[in-house]
Amino acid sequence: MDGTFSLEFFDAPGPFLAAAGTLLSEEPVLGSVIASVTERTERELAEGRDSWAEVDAPFARWWLVVRDGSGEVVSAAMRTAPFKPYPTFALPMPDGAARALATALHERGELLGGANGALPGSEVLARATAELAGGEMVSEKATRLWECTSVRVPPAPEGRMRQATEADAELVLAWFTAFHEEADEQTGREPDPHSGEHNTLDSVLVRIREGVEWLWELPDGEVAHLSGAGLPSYGVSRIGPVYTPKEHRGRGIASYVVGELTRRGLEAGHRMCLFTDQANPTSNKIYASLGYEPVVDMAEHLVRVPATP
């Protein structure tokens, strides 16, 4: 679909949610990342905190709705990622709107270093940005969004599942970092030494206090696994990250924990989703065996611009 589109930027989560709420409620699984990140930011600001102030990004974070010629909101995006190159994340977006967004950012002197989200709009945005900036677009990672409506929970391994507590914060932070590093290794990509740097002890403590981080404890008390199950946004809870240290893999722990968290979410009336890296056949196979089905393919793109002499 192409045509006339208007872009409306927001610098605060509340007004954006008011404008995008209907779209997010109509497509809550597709919009789970934007909705959950924005609602967490809104809660944070209501508590008098602003973690963005510590990011030191060369631009102010923003949210965006795309309106068609009749004024209806047809897409949404945000640039709130606290890590370089500060990529956008977008819902399915018409090509014309993606090109308009690239032009708008270019005209205000805001270099977009990466564009993530639903295809093909995210690729169009990255490619148009690269063309305007005299650089090149690089497809970094292909991802897939999955949803489970009926789960098959495998038998439980030895041990027990428990919520992470504040006493576990250092371990959870270390495993968040390891998750990002090893995810690249598992797919044959060169590990990004800066991946996961945006996770801090404070951000981990926020998630622990929300009750969204779960651990698997072996009979001897050793902790062997971490899974997250986010607070529902528009009725959708998203699983992730899912991490098992190498020495504890192959025991079915991850399959059971993800399956059990999914079962609990479904029984509570939530829709359950998660993301996978398409280059990791192991995780894709595990989640499919639990009952997860593909929803949409997404991708992460980088925009590389030659350094200014």
Q: Let me know whether 131 and 93 are in one domain.
A: yes
The answer to whether position 186 is within a domain reads yes
**Can you give the pLDDT at residue 199?**
82
Question: Per the structure, how many domains does the chain have?
Answer: 2
In the predicted structure, residue 186 carries a pLDDT above the cut 70 = no
Angstrom distances, CA of residue 251 to CA of 157, 184, 246, 288: 7, 22, 11, 18
In a domain, 67, yes or no: yes
The pair of structure tokens assigned to 119 is 């295809």
Tell whether 151 is covered by a domain: no
Could you tell me if 59 and 118 lie in one domain? yes
**Please, what is the Cα angle at 146 between 144 and 148, to 5 degrees?**
170
Same domain assignment for residues 181 and 71: no
Both 127 and 206 in a single domain? no
What would the pLDDT profile of 292-306 be if each residue is shown by its tens digit?
Answer: 999 999 999 999 998
Q: What is the pLDDT of residues 44-71, one digit of tens each?
A: 999 999 999 989 999 999 999 999 999 9
pLDDT of residue 190: 60
Segment holding 105, helix H or strand E: helix 95-107
Enumerate residues 6+ apart whose C-beta is below 8 A from 10: 16, 19, 62, 63, 64, 65
Whether the pLDDT of residue 196 is over 70: the answer is no
> What is residue 188's predicted lDDT score, i.e. its pLDDT?
56
CATH of the domain at 237: 3.40.630.30
What's the rounded mean pLDDT across residues 188-202?
63
- Give the residue-averaged pLDDT of 169-188: 83
Residue 220: CB atoms within 10 Å? 8
Residues 193, 96 within the same domain: no
Residues 132, 186: one domain? no
Q: What pTM was estimated for this model as a whole?
A: 0.91
The sheet carrying 160-163 orders its strands as: 6-10, 62-67, 73-79, 88-90, 114-118, 292-304, 136-148, 271-277, 236-243, 223-229, 213-217, 160-163
Which has the higher per-residue pLDDT, 193 or 105?
A: 105
pLDDT confidence of 1, banded at 50, 70, 90? very low
pLDDT, tens only, 145-176: 999 999 999 999 999 999 999 999 999 999 99
Domain-located, residue 39 = yes
Provide the sign of the torsion angle of the four alpha carbons 286, 287, 293, 299, taken in this order: negative
> Is there a domain that residue 70 lies in?
yes
**Quick one: tokens of 296?**
């949409």
Q: Can you tell me which residue has the tokens 């504890």? A: 248
Mean pLDDT of 198-220: 94
Same domain, 169 and 264: yes
**Do 132 and 176 share a structural domain?**
no
Q: What's the pLDDT band for 282 if we cut at 50, 70, 90?
A: confident
Q: Which domain holds residue 117?
A: 6-142+298-304
* CA trace torsion 62, 48, 23, 5 (10° rounding): -20
Q: Print burial letters for 256-283: b (CB count within 10 Å at least 16), e (below 16).
A: bbbbbbbbbbbeeebbbbbbbbbbbeeb
Q: Does residue 285 sit within a domain?
A: yes
| Six-digit token string for 225 | 């696994």
309 domain-assigned: no
- Residue 240, in any domain of the structure: yes
pLDDT tens for each residue of 232-255: 999 999 999 999 999 999 999 999
Please report which confidence band the pLDDT of residue 27 belongs to, taking 50, 70 and 90 as the band edges.
very high
Q: How far apart are CA 67 and CA 73, in angstroms?
A: 4
In this structure, the answer to whether residues 115 and 171 fall within a common structural domain is no
pLDDT of residue 184: 63
Residue 293 three-state SS: strand
Q: CA triplet 293, 198, 306: central angle to 5 degrees?
A: 95
Dihedral of CA 285/287/293/294: which sign? Answer: negative
CB-based contacts of 210, cutoff 8 Å, min separation 6: 231
One domain, residues 108 and 49: yes
Q: Let me know whether 134 and 223 are in one domain.
A: no
Shared-domain flag, residues 165 and 286: yes
Please say if the pLDDT value at position 286 is more than 70: yes
Higher pLDDT, 131 or 181: 131
Q: What is the pLDDT of residue 308?
A: 58
Q: Which of 10-14, 76-80, 277-281 has the lowest mean pLDDT?
A: 277-281
